[in-house]
Amino acid sequence: MRPSGRAPDEMRAITIETGYTKHAEGSCLISFGETRVLCTASVEERIPPWLRGKGEGWVTGEYSMLPRATHTRGQREAAKGKQSGRTQEIQRLIGRSLRAVVDHKKLGERQITLDCDVIQADGGTRTASISGAWVALRLAVDGLMKSGDITQDPITAKVAAVSCGVYQGTPVLDLDYPEDSNADADANFVLIEGGKIAEAQATAEGAPYDEEAFLRLLRLAQMGCAQIFKAQDEATRK
Amino acid sequence: MRPSGRAPDEMRAITIETGYTKHAEGSCLISFGETRVLCTASVEERIPPWLRGKGEGWVTGEYSMLPRATHTRGQREAAKGKQSGRTQEIQRLIGRSLRAVVDHKKLGERQITLDCDVIQADGGTRTASISGAWVALRLAVDGLMKSGDITQDPITAKVAAVSCGVYQGTPVLDLDYPEDSNADADANFVLIEGGKIAEAQATAEGAPYDEEAFLRLLRLAQMGCAQIFKAQDEATRK
Amino acid sequence: MRPSGRAPDEMRAITIETGYTKHAEGSCLISFGETRVLCTASVEERIPPWLRGKGEGWVTGEYSMLPRATHTRGQREAAKGKQSGRTQEIQRLIGRSLRAVVDHKKLGERQITLDCDVIQADGGTRTASISGAWVALRLAVDGLMKSGDITQDPITAKVAAVSCGVYQGTPVLDLDYPEDSNADADANFVLIEGGKIAEAQATAEGAPYDEEAFLRLLRLAQMGCAQIFKAQDEATRK
Amino acid sequence: MRPSGRAPDEMRAITIETGYTKHAEGSCLISFGETRVLCTASVEERIPPWLRGKGEGWVTGEYSMLPRATHTRGQREAAKGKQSGRTQEIQRLIGRSLRAVVDHKKLGERQITLDCDVIQADGGTRTASISGAWVALRLAVDGLMKSGDITQDPITAKVAAVSCGVYQGTPVLDLDYPEDSNADADANFVLIEGGKIAEAQATAEGAPYDEEAFLRLLRLAQMGCAQIFKAQDEATRK
Amino acid sequence: MRPSGRAPDEMRAITIETGYTKHAEGSCLISFGETRVLCTASVEERIPPWLRGKGEGWVTGEYSMLPRATHTRGQREAAKGKQSGRTQEIQRLIGRSLRAVVDHKKLGERQITLDCDVIQADGGTRTASISGAWVALRLAVDGLMKSGDITQDPITAKVAAVSCGVYQGTPVLDLDYPEDSNADADANFVLIEGGKIAEAQATAEGAPYDEEAFLRLLRLAQMGCAQIFKAQDEATRK
Amino acid sequence: MRPSGRAPDEMRAITIETGYTKHAEGSCLISFGETRVLCTASVEERIPPWLRGKGEGWVTGEYSMLPRATHTRGQREAAKGKQSGRTQEIQRLIGRSLRAVVDHKKLGERQITLDCDVIQADGGTRTASISGAWVALRLAVDGLMKSGDITQDPITAKVAAVSCGVYQGTPVLDLDYPEDSNADADANFVLIEGGKIAEAQATAEGAPYDEEAFLRLLRLAQMGCAQIFKAQDEATRK
């Protein structure tokens, strides 16, 4: 029995509010239940030094939690003077996931930064971030195509992410905080619409897992991402 | 003529949405027009080292801009590894302003941290922060009184802040970004309900100003804060 | 009764010893009573990146306390690895104050850095810094004009600063440390010769103040700055 | 055809030289072909603050590359003043992997730090680190059991790690640098002797992969780890 | 021929102005010609953690250059966020040199910090720092003995330092900046009154030197320190 | 009697294993008894900014201890976020020592970085580092001459270093850790083959020393370096 009463394969409600901030070229507030992340896409007509002159663009991600997004207040990373290992791991994951669906040649020599700032945390902040970042990216690229800065769509597919885990012996979809903090195993899947995998990470927190459990988690992730792809579609069609 | 078409003594619309996040003991999203700041109050049963054993509490403030709160993306302070002078100046001001209306003895040996995170910036982020922080503080203290942790109200009055400035020769109230970036003089007033001043800061950006101009700015601030006090009142009565 | 026995409107002795160090293009040791600050002006033929190609110069300030300038030793900011919020606030104020009396076009594409290092502290270090920095700047600009590097004087007026405060209910001029650490309100005024205000900051430390008190503090500051302008004049005429 | 001429399911030569340094409680130099990592286990009779009083121990990992372990010299992280995101990600993985096979109650209130310093890099440094860290840990725990500090063996199983990837369309085992830098997908598996998985991470670098490819990579990893378990066994039996 | 016209064994004028700042327990402004260093001794009734409970005190040194002590302005170490290797090397030398003449048992469980801040630099700042730090220490200890906090003098001897070098083939005493920046070899000697050596450091900057040259430099240092001991004596007798 | 049973003028066994790592242009693992340092020379076709356009090269050194090179584990400097004063002092010494035997004109506009990483420490790590760095440099330069990048040998002589000290009243050669941590005086000599001195540093740790003791230490260092020169010769002839 899940603390929330959800069925093992039941996602939390997904909502995506586009245009949440006015300055960003693309933005949305994405919610997976009580987890809320503000995702913005910022287009800059400059490129990291190592890419200069190659005629290619770059997509990168940044991630942060507001200090009181969580149950107890966390110290600001800006005040501590450095980003935690967890933060850096997540922002590297966000960047890799989005780059998996971007044709950098078609993007042209510009950089798009996807900022994912967690307003409220209840498990699954990194997967909500990736899923929302795609929406922000889509909106920003739509703008570049409308203005004629880009002529061919550089986005090759939708990408979405969801967490799964083994909670009290049962594989479940879309862990919330009470589940996440007690799971035996914890997995994050980044899937591409059409069936391919961009990234799979499955960690044994309590007891190690076997191949069969892994495959069940992957199956759940496929079900979850299907719903996220649908929500992304509706949000960006508007 | 102001870019927004407002009269010189006209505030932007003030909205205060309380309970914006579920974990914080008090929270609100405050808007001064397009400027939006999330203010949370976090209560912790610990005290800075220099206050230990004095039977007093402490109120402090922190401030940050999300990277794409502004027209062009700013680098994250956490990534840079330090907070800018501007950030530190503002968070010191927030802390001082709120402490001006708190009786630290009545608060007891606990700390309340007021986090002000700017979601969208259009001028006046520090004054919206102070005004919203008071609401978050009020809600957190209400909770402490309801639970019996505090028996006497430590908040002595409302505090609010607003910016004023000399724009194209005319003193105006509540500068938005287009005004703020072109003002001859720029002032921030932190006022206490009842007529007293907690803090006044007036800086000549372009041309120096005289005593008369300063007094006109103060008069505008008093008008603006009267409206903020009313909005604070409505928000915390609910 | 002031701890020093001074009248409410009585400044401490002001002395300005020019040419205190031999390498700087302009320098002085300024004293407000026991507060002693070494101010140097360094001319560099380079400009911050954002000003390049505009044909304008830049004036900036830096501030530091020697570790044992104070009653008890403070840790070196270089050893701590960062400058405090207070230090950054003060050096931003010094820079703004001096820029208020400089025509950047006439200065040409060069930067002048005003370093204010507090040798001994007894209240009013930031105001002594600003007042002494003007002398160092004046001397450095005199050198640039003598050498022909500058043809039109870029300094438009004298600028000076003084602190005032409400001490035991009475507004007093030029707070020393015993007053500063017990004042109800504490103000710093940066005034321009001729009557204009470059910056006014008044903070309620204990009890909030009202408009009338503010105006009395401004009046005291005008009296104090008149004396500083005279001392600056004598120091730079020599 | 692999650049090294190896068969797709062929590991590089594994060597483990135990007792490589004299001060550490356990140590080895592990080689996966030309990749060489010095792994040391340091036992300290102290525990992180959040574990105090729980009667449990802690196992943690740290990772670094010597500046010229690689083809071109990298700047020292100590000189840059911070550890990269990659370094932090790897050291978190090392710690988690080893903790998956340790019973913290049986370890008692002590910490074992596993330092993995890459002497020479040719692909697979993180997987060699984990595999060698287990040997260092085993030796250190053997010492604690011999001295009577620990009475029941806290190590529950062997753990080993190996990288696999899709190189030019073919899933291959134990990527070396020329393969790693050109792989379409890159996976790291941390396996526990007996068939369970501690951690699986598979990233699409070039083209996304499907479930079948993932399973083939896992099969290869199982083959590779079987060889590493054997080498660990021989090294710790001596 | 030396640029200054001095004879090879001629020191620059030494002046020591005691009581230069009012807060420090001991202080002086020491000059070796145009090199001027403010040395303060701060007594604190606390001890570094590793000395606690041993009944011993500690003497340590810190060193800094004001940004415009030199010909061209140097960036503040506090702004850069770290102390240079040179600064750290010098402050370690100052601490070791003074500890060589202090009986830590007689000092009791207190720490004396010797801050050496270079007001103006013209070669020999570290040697002037050590020589002046001894005076500040002597004055601080005199105060502790007068107040009865210490009953037996913990200072066992005078210590002084001077630089020497091989300039255009000739060993010379007390290098000034034009010599220092062109010397073939550069040595710093820290000598104890009575003939012993606390520290000798001789570096070949241009051409390596031989034993005979080293001994001539030592002879010059002995002559120079004799004069410094005399100046220290006069300064602390007053 | 020395703890190791060595005669006062007896070095520990010196071994130099060249080609220890495959990527570096020159490398060796040098041992002075149980002290083991990995020295690599990295050639880069770039030059520090201040040398650009002068037609000269640069040689620099870096130094680090692996965390468990010592009896008890030390925190990583990369994790602390800064290099200690000791580390910086040593790496400055390594660079100066090697530059003393390099003709920078003949080296051409390239930089050689000598990384000295201590694998195991038992006293004398800095002197082993310098002695091994020369071997790595020699090998790297041999490669540059063989490839024709350099036509005239820029290395003017061998350089080696050894520590000496006064241990229980007796001057002894090549201190190991038990001696080093209890010596009255501790000296490091960097000598150039042929009899000249590049650097001499002698520090009184316990009791100050006199000129005669210093000369005896120098004599021991000359004996020790003769043996190191021989080992360097054999290692680089192979």
Asked if the Cβ–Cβ distance from B203 to C202 is below 8 Å, we say no
Q: What is the DSSP letter of A147?
A: T
The pLDDT score that the predictor gives to residue A205 is: 79
Q: Which residue among B192, B197, B209 places its CB closest to the CB of C196? A: B209
Compute the CA torsion angle C162, C168, C169, C174 (nearest 10 deg). Answer: -10
What ipTM was reported for this prediction? 0.94
Measured between beta carbons, the chain A residues lying within 8 angstroms of B83 are 78-79
- Interface of B to C at Cβ within 8 Å reads 82, 84-86, 88-89, 91-92, 96, 100, 192, 195-204, 208-211, 214-215, 218
Q: Which residue among C82, C196, C199 places its CB closest to the CB of B82? A: C82
The pLDDT score that the predictor gives to residue B206 is: 78
Average pLDDT over residues A142-149: 97
Residue A171 confidence (pLDDT) above 90: yes
Measured between beta carbons, the chain D residues lying within 8 angstroms of F121 are 23
How close does chain C come to B166, measured CA to CA in Å? Answer: 13
Average pLDDT over residues B71-93: 94
Question: pLDDT band at D195, cuts 50/70/90?
Answer: confident
Average pLDDT over residues C205-221: 92
**Residue C86 labeled ligand binder:** yes
E59 backbone φψ class: left, alpha, beta (φ>0; ψ -120 to 50):
beta
How close does chain C come to E121, measured CA to CA in Å? Answer: 9
The pLDDT score that the predictor gives to residue C195 is: 87
Q: Which residue among B88, B100, B214 places its CB closest to the CB of C200? A: B214
Residue A65 confidence (pLDDT) above 80: yes
The answer to whether residues C120 and E22 touch, using CB atoms and an 8 Å cutoff, is yes
Question: pLDDT band at A207, cuts 50/70/90?
Answer: confident
What is the spatial distance between Cα E92 and Cα F89, in angstroms, rounded to a whole number?
A: 10
Average pLDDT over residues F49-56: 90
The answer to whether residues C15 and C31 touch, using CB atoms and an 8 Å cutoff, is yes
Measured between beta carbons, the chain F residues lying within 8 angstroms of E85 are 83, 85, 88-89, 91-92
What is the spatial distance between Cα F238 and Cα F236, in angstroms, rounded to a whole number?
A: 5
The order of strands in the sheet holding A26-32 is A14-18, A26-32, A35-44, A111-120, A58-65
Average pLDDT over residues D160-171: 96
How close does chain D come to A165, measured CA to CA in Å? Answer: 13
Compute the CA torsion angle E93, E96, E100, E103 (nearest 10 deg). Answer: 150
Structure tokens at A12: 């939390």
Question: pLDDT band at F195, cuts 50/70/90?
Answer: confident
Count of CB contacts below 8 A, A vs B? 90
Asked if the Cβ–Cβ distance from C42 to E82 is below 8 Å, we say no
The pLDDT score that the predictor gives to residue E12 is: 98
Measured between beta carbons, the chain F residues lying within 8 angstroms of E86 are 92
pLDDT (tens digit, 9 = 90+) per residue, D22-50? 999 999 999 999 999 999 999 999 999 98
The pLDDT score that the predictor gives to residue E47 is: 92
User: Kind of pairing, strands C26-32 and C35-44?
Assistant: antiparallel
The pLDDT score that the predictor gives to residue B205 is: 79
Phi, psi of C233, rounded to the nearest 5 degrees: -65, -50
Q: What burial class does residue F211 get, using C-beta atoms within 10 Å of its C-beta: 0-12 exposed, 13-18 middle, 19+ buried?
A: middle
Q: Which residue among D69, D76, D82 places its CB closest to the CB of F81? A: D82
What is the spatial distance between Cα C207 and Cα B156, in angstroms, rounded to a whole number?
A: 12
Asked if the Cβ–Cβ distance from C117 to E66 is below 8 Å, we say yes
The answer to whether residues D44 and D30 touch, using CB atoms and an 8 Å cutoff, is no
The pLDDT score that the predictor gives to residue C206 is: 78
Asked if the Cβ–Cβ distance from C202 to B197 is below 8 Å, we say yes
Q: Which residue among D85, D197, D201 places its CB closest to the CB of A210? A: D197
The pLDDT score that the predictor gives to residue E180 is: 94
Average pLDDT over residues B91-107: 96
Exposure of E216 in the CB half-sphere (CA atoms within 13 A): 17
Average pLDDT over residues E215-219: 96
Closest CA to D24 of F77, F71, F124, F64: F71
Interface test with B, best of C60, C196, C219, C223 (most B CBs within 10 A): C196
Asked if the Cβ–Cβ distance from A34 to B22 is below 8 Å, we say yes
Asked if the Cβ–Cβ distance from F209 to E197 is below 8 Å, we say yes
Query: Residue C32: which residues within 8 A CB-CB, separation 6 or more?
Result: C11, C12, C13, C14, C124, C127, C128, C131, C174
Higher-scoring residue by pLDDT: D51, C28: C28
Question: pLDDT band at A95, cuts 50/70/90?
Answer: very high
Count of CB contacts below 8 A, B vs C? 81
Question: pLDDT band at C1, cuts 50/70/90?
Answer: confident
Q: Which residue among C89, C96, C195 places its CB closest to the CB of B203? A: C96
User: Kind of pairing, strands E185-192 and E159-167?
Assistant: antiparallel
Structural domains of chain A, ranges and CATH numbers in brackets: 14-236 (3.30.230.70)
Query: What is the CA A178 to chain-centroid distance, rounded?
Result: 20
The pLDDT score that the predictor gives to residue C106 is: 97
Structure tokens at D119: 């002497």
**Residue F125 labeled ligand binder:** yes
What is the spatial distance between Cα D124 and Cα D181, in angstroms, rounded to a whole number?
A: 11
Q: Which residue among F91, F192, F197 places its CB closest to the CB of E214? A: F197
Asked if the Cβ–Cβ distance from F120 to D68 is below 8 Å, we say no
N-term to C-term CA, chain D = 37
Average pLDDT over residues D130-139: 98
Asked if the Cβ–Cβ distance from A62 to B68 is below 8 Å, we say no
The pLDDT score that the predictor gives to residue B183 is: 93
Chain B: residue whose CA lies nearest to A71? B23
How close does chain B come to A216, measured CA to CA in Å? Answer: 33
- Return the HEC string of chain C: CCCCCCCCCCCCCEEEEECCCCCCCEEEEEEECCEEEEEEEEEECCCCHHHCCCCCCEEEEEEEECCCCCCCCCCCHHHHCCCCHHHHHHHHHHHHHHHCCECHHHHCCCEEEEEEEEEECCCCHHHHHHHHHHHHHHHHHHHHHHCCCCCCCCECCCEEEEEEEEECCEEEECCCHHHHCCCCEEEEEEEECCCEEEEEEEEECCCCECHHHHHHHHHHHHHHHHHHHHHHHHHHHC
Measured between beta carbons, the chain D residues lying within 8 angstroms of F74 are none
How close does chain D come to A151, measured CA to CA in Å? Answer: 23
**Burial per residue of B110-135, b for 16 or more beta-carbon CB atoms within 10 angstroms, e otherwise:** bbbbbbbbbbbbbbbbbbbbbbbbbb
Instruction: List the chains bordering chain C where 3 or more Cβ pairs fall under 8 Å.
Output: B, E
Query: Residue E72: which residues within 8 A CB-CB, separation 6 or more?
Result: C42
The answer to whether residues A163 and A205 touch, using CB atoms and an 8 Å cutoff, is no
Average pLDDT over residues F62-83: 95
Percent of chain E with pLDDT over 90: 93
Residue E238 confidence (pLDDT) above 80: no
Asked if the Cβ–Cβ distance from C204 to B202 is below 8 Å, we say no
The pLDDT score that the predictor gives to residue C207 is: 84
Q: Which residue among C22, C42, C68 places its CB closest to the CB of E21? A: C68
Asked if the Cβ–Cβ distance from C85 to B89 is below 8 Å, we say yes
User: Kind of pairing, strands D159-167 and D58-65?
Assistant: unpaired
pLDDT (tens digit, 9 = 90+) per residue, B7-26? 999 999 999 999 999 999 99
What is the spatial distance between Cα F199 and Cα F189, in angstroms, rounded to a whole number?
A: 6
Positive/negative CA dihedral, B184, B190, B195, B196:
negative
What is the spatial distance between Cα F176 and Cα D189, in angstroms, rounded to a whole number?
A: 44
Average pLDDT of the residues of chain E: 96
- Interface of B to A at Cβ within 8 Å reads 21-24, 27, 34, 38, 40, 42, 44, 62, 64, 66-73, 76-83, 87, 113, 115, 117, 119-121
What is the spatial distance between Cα A229 and Cα A157, in angstroms, rounded to a whole number?
A: 10
The answer to whether residues C126 and C94 touch, using CB atoms and an 8 Å cutoff, is yes
What is the spatial distance between Cα B90 and Cα B232, in angstroms, rounded to a whole number?
A: 21
Q: How many CB atoms lie within 10 A of CB E5?
A: 7
Phi, psi of B15, rounded to the nearest 5 degrees: -130, 145
pLDDT (tens digit, 9 = 90+) per residue, C79-131? 999 999 999 999 999 999 999 999 999 999 999 999 999 999 999 999 999 99
What residue has token string 């010299």? D73
Closest CA to D28 of D192, D105, D104, D142: D142
E137: helix, strand or coil: helix
Average pLDDT over residues D14-18: 98
The pLDDT score that the predictor gives to residue F215 is: 94
The pLDDT score that the predictor gives to residue B1 is: 85
User: Kind of pairing, strands A14-18 and B111-120?
Assistant: unpaired
